[in-house]
Structure 1
Amino acid sequence: MADCYRGDKRATESKQHLRKALFQLLREKEWGKISVQDLTKRAGIHRTTFYQHYEDKFDLAQQVMAEMFDVMKNAIFAPVSEEDWQEEHTAYVYIFRFYQHLQEHEEEYQILLKRGRELNIRQTVCAFFEDSFSLGAEEVADKKAARHLVPLDMQKQFVMSAYAGTAEWWLRTGRPYSPDFMASSMIQLIQNPSK
């Protein structure tokens, strides 16, 4: 049992070192110029250890990004106490947590924005928004469905695109507004765009 624990701990540490190496190298140079050798050297591990966990550098990048978005999803959708809810704006807590998480992990998300096209992260980002914001988007859309004849799937796509685009703008411009302001403003824009 102790050997199994040590093995798991070593594997976790190796993965953490590789993740750190990945972001350090992405900060310094283009994705196409980063090799597995660069990654293992920077992480201080052997190539055989790398290949125990990943098929290649693309597999490493995809697993790291998937893990990042899982962590974000867990942060956003952690249990919410009743006093945290704003009754007329039930999505506020989730949107606030989304911006708060981006702020806390800004450096890594800035690197993903800079290298996103090289890393081909569009599919991962789309899957994240589809999984994470469908519930919130549907809640907002359902309340308006009786008043508007816009199909629910179109409303959902609009809301998700708005969140993704605005979050990207917010990071690229150096977070000019607080997470609280962003959450309140996003709700106002979605629900009452003319105000």
Structure 2
Amino acid sequence: MADCYRGDKRATESKQQLRKALFQLLSEKEWGKISVQDLTKVAGIHRTTFYQHYEDKFDLAQQVMDEMFDVMKCAIFAPVQEDDLEKEHPAYVYIFRFYQHLQEHEKEYQILLKRGRELNIHETVRAFFEESFSLGKEGVAGSKPDPQLVPIDMQKQFVISAYIGTAEWWLRTGRPYSPEFMANSMIHLIENQ
């Protein structure tokens, strides 16, 4: 049993080191100029260890991004206290948590924005928001436009585009407003459309 735990712990540590190496290298140079050898050297692990966990550098990048967005989803959609929902607009808690999460992990998201095209991050981001739209719709029942007036697929595209664009702008401009202000402003903008 102890050997299994030790192996799991080593695998987790290796993956964490590779994640750190990935972000360090992405902050220093273009994605196309980063090799598996660069990653393993910065992480301080052997190439064989790398290939035990990932097929190639693309697999590493995709798994890291998937994990980041899974963590974000858990942070946003964690259970909400009833009295929190009564104090604010039903969507406030979720939008606030989204901006708060971006703020807490700003450095990594800034690097992903900088290398977004190279990493083809837009597909991952869009998939995250597609799923989040459905989860958010369930959590904020009654606060959406009438599907008879605005088709649900159009609502979804509008909301996704608004959130992606505004979040990118917020990060690129150095977070000029607090997560609280962003949440209130997004609600105001969407309700008045």
Q: Relative to structure 1, is the Cα distance of residues 141 and 112 closer, same or farther in structure 2, using a 3 angstrom cutoff?
A: farther
Letter in 1 for 2:120: N
Unaligned runs of 5+ in 2: none
TM-superposed deviation, 1:88:
6.3
Letter in 2 for 1:144: P
TM-superposed deviation, 1:181:
0.5
Using the alignment, how far apart are the partners of 2:123 and 2:25 within structure 1? 22
Q: Is the 8 A contact 1:142 1:152 kept in 2?
A: no
Query: What is the aligned partner in structure 1 of residue 84 from structure 2?
Result: 84
Specify which structure has the bigger relative contact order, considering alpha-carbon pairs within 8 angstroms and separated by 6 or more residues. Answer: 2
TM-superposed deviation, 1:105:
0.2
Q: Is the 8 A contact 2:23 2:111 kept in 1?
A: yes
Query: What is the aligned partner in structure 2 of residue 67 from structure 1?
Result: 67
Query: What is the aligned partner in structure 1 of residue 52 from structure 2?
Result: 52
Q: Is the 8 A contact 1:96 1:183 kept in 2?
A: yes
- What's the CA shift string for 1:37-65, capped at 9, x where partnerless? 00000000000000000000000000000
Using the alignment, how far apart are the partners of 1:37 and 1:137 within structure 2? 44
- What's the CA shift string for 1:20-79, capped at 9, x where partnerless? 000000000000000000000000000000000000000000000000000000000111
Query: Is residue 186 of structure 1 aligned with residue 186 of structure 2?
Result: yes
Q: Relative to structure 1, is the Cα distance of residues 114 and 30 closer, same or farther in structure 2, using a 3 angstrom cutoff?
A: same
- What's the CA shift string for 1:93-152, capped at 9, x where partnerless? 000000000000000000000000000111110110011122325747864207x61111
Letter in 2 for 1:72: M
TM-score, L = length of structure 2: 0.94
Further displaced range: 80-89 or 119-128: 80-89
Letter in 1 for 2:157: Q
Query: What is the aligned partner in structure 2 of residue 102 from structure 1?
Result: 102
Using the alignment, how far apart are the partners of 2:87 and 2:149 within structure 1? 25
Using the alignment, how far apart are the partners of 1:70 and 1:166 within structure 2? 20
Q: Which runs of 4+ in 1 moved over 6 A?
A: none
Percent of pairs with identical residues: 83
Using the alignment, how far apart are the partners of 2:185 and 2:33 within structure 1? 40
Using the alignment, how far apart are the partners of 2:144 and 2:161 within structure 1? 19
Letter in 1 for 2:127: A
Q: Is the 8 A contact 1:96 1:182 kept in 2?
A: yes
Query: What is the aligned partner in structure 1 of residue 18 from structure 2?
Result: 18
Query: Is residue 168 of structure 1 aligned with residue 156 of structure 2?
Result: no
Query: What is the aligned partner in structure 1 of residue 27 from structure 2?
Result: 27
Equivalenced residue count is 192
Q: Is the 8 A contact 2:90 2:143 kept in 1?
A: no
Query: Is residue 111 of structure 1 aligned with residue 111 of structure 2?
Result: yes
Query: What is the aligned partner in structure 2 of residue 4 from structure 1?
Result: 4
Using the alignment, how far apart are the partners of 1:17 and 1:88 within structure 2? 40
